[in-house]
Structure 1
């Protein structure tokens, strides 16, 4: 049974240098046709497996950039979502947003359409770094948009920040944190830059033209991040996420809990009825397939019992609460230690995880090398 719904909007007015998600420039794209196809895909999928959609807790609009759409297109999209997705149990309805695109009419359209959480891509408060990574907004856009969002009625607002950017200094990172926290928002996400294939940064990196901070400096930036957030009363509930009480992202928690969710749109991924799937990515192909009455599936994979165990561990350990004995035994019918005792003992000895009567979780030391810890739970590692 799905707990959440992800809806992919692949359109952008500007392509960021680090982004590897399925996206295209907005201009000359069949945006209205795409929105219609999204509605059709939702309708078909819910009709095929209605029992999977009886307890949807969250909906998340991602991209691309959902706020690349016009206010009228946003209204149309939200109308289709609320028409085809059972909304009675939805508590959190989020949309990603760019600060320089989120006009008052778009904010009003989102709010009136049921969206109650905004996740804004701010990344940095240093204009030179914003230009390096391909962002087009200014600090003034951020301040104005957040105030406008509050005026419209939004209370649950999050911003994304990035560190380990090309040429970024510790001083720039600390200033970004200070400016971000001065906004007194209830939620912050902060991610280190990962140079992904098929991005502008990857091309630059391959040519030796991308000058990144050292590994030690990036580690120090993460340490400063954790300490600064804690000093401001924000709880780190996941490796990269910090929130006031009651404002942790329910949608993202679905992923880390290894629970099921539906994915709609070109290139979207989902996990329904034990099957992980991905949709076709080309927009024209997606529209043609859906409007012909077929789900636009590119790939399906039935998750094996071993894979479910692995995913429970490496996804769950991203959470500060870690993986509890109770949730593990409830899902798999056997104690966690009956399967992973040797690995857990080794990681404890290395002071990378801690074990108690509740479960296991990363130590502070473990958070710095989380991916290495996660790999230890993979078969064959």
Structure 2
């Protein structure tokens, strides 16, 4: 299996601090006040040093800094953090994509300049909506003025490749409210938009409200209507839908996230971070202080699992079919040294028959109907591998 020998060309780094916890968020994040930020950056450096020693990186094609909210770091902390990243993972391709997540209102000009000087060349802003009432309802602390100010600061600092995240299916949201958000978002003429449906996750305020019957979510039919409307509007505006929830101008697709969707290996560093290196998936210790202590002992990992051939092939299908181009026979054969149809022929034929998958010249992709029922399609591949021999 190719992943067991392939050195990752992608790096994910986790900054777990946030100004507050949003009502829908179940990410590994902690409110910033009182947190040992520099101790955490020191710990992250210890993990970087250990990782680079154990699996020496080759050329790095993509870096993604997520959170939390990485942009809660001060300009000095940001400069220190980025200097360390370059020290251990600094062999960059000429056209590296270096993305950092940001929240509007946490990005003044000085900080953005420190990001730019440190190598960041793409920013993903967590906007979620251009409706201030809705923003307050979901626990965001920014408003639309903060969005415009942050984007203007980023342009002034020299950033041209920017993305924003939006959400649909929010409490009290209608297609009309979604359209008003899309109109403002598209007027910005950005390179990339990610638009996700709300998932009510356990251990969130929204989950508690949902359990009590106090979360006025849109009906399923209206949520599907929003998604259809989003796809139509983005397409009309010249954005290619290259993944279920992601739209880009040609050439501006997220190359880092595409590594995940193509089942490629990646380094994962930081509290609660996941990684996929040499055929093993790992997850790090989640808490800030326990992670710091773990790195001091040389053991930041919470769990490591060898990915079996069968699991890797199932993963390939489930993440690869998120891409609108679908999965390619040549990619499958390249990773697993066997034909796609030999392993998943029965599942594929069933899904094609149901009208959820369609055959392409190179492989298979979701049909228009399959796009609306993606999770059902992906579930078909769990336990569906046939005739597998290591």
TM-score if structure 2 supplies the norm length?
0.95
* Bigger Cα displacement from structure 2, 158-167 vs 325-334: 325-334
d(CA) in 1 for partners of 2:255, 2:209: 36
Name the counterpart of 1:179.
Answer: 184
Name the counterpart of 1:136.
Answer: 141
Q: What is the RMSD computed on CA atoms of the aligned residues?
A: 1.1
Q: Are 1:93 and 2:95 matched, yes or no?
A: no
**Which consecutive unaligned segments of at least 5 residues does structure 1 have?**
none
Contact 1:54/1:86 (<8 A) preserved = no
Match of 2:150 among 145, 148, 162: 145
Q: Give, in angstroms, the shift of residue 380 of structure 1.
A: 6.0
Q: Are 1:125 and 2:136 matched, yes or no?
A: no
d(CA) in 2 for partners of 1:62, 1:235: 24
Contact 1:9/1:66 (<8 A) preserved = yes
Name the counterpart of 2:173.
Answer: 168
Runs of 4+ in 1 over 2 A off after TM superposition: 86-90
Contact 1:353/1:360 (<8 A) preserved = yes
d(CA) in 2 for partners of 1:88, 1:166: 43
d(CA) in 1 for partners of 2:307, 2:110: 43
Match of 2:278 among 249, 273, 278: 273
Name the counterpart of 2:331.
Answer: 327
Contact 1:100/1:142 (<8 A) preserved = yes
Contact 1:40/1:290 (<8 A) preserved = yes
Deviations 1:174-204 (Å, cap 9, x if unpaired)? 1101110000001000000000111111111
Q: Are 1:295 and 2:322 matched, yes or no?
A: no
Contact 2:14/2:67 (<8 A) preserved = yes
Q: Give, in angstroms, the shift of residue 207 of structure 1.
A: 1.4
Give the 5 Å matches for 1:11-22: 11-22=17-28
d(CA) in 1 for partners of 2:277, 2:345: 30
Q: Give, in angstroms, the shift of residue 295 of structure 1.
A: 3.2
Give the 5 Å matches for 1:154-233: 154-233=159-238
d(CA) in 2 for partners of 1:263, 1:142: 29
**Which consecutive unaligned segments of at least 5 residues does structure 2 have?**
1-6, 386-390
Give the SS at the match of 2:180.
helix
Name the counterpart of 1:352.
Answer: 356
Match of 2:60 among 43, 56, 60: 56
Match of 1:241 among 243, 246, 262: 246
Name the counterpart of 2:373.
Answer: 369
Contact 1:44/1:295 (<8 A) preserved = no
d(CA) in 1 for partners of 2:134, 2:143: 11
d(CA) in 1 for partners of 2:355, 2:370: 7
Contact 1:45/1:295 (<8 A) preserved = no
d(CA) in 1 for partners of 2:287, 2:157: 35
Q: Give, in angstroms, the shift of residue 270 of structure 1.
A: 0.5
TM-score if structure 1 supplies the norm length?
0.97
Contact 1:163/1:221 (<8 A) preserved = yes
Give the 5 Å matches for 1:28-47: 28-47=34-53
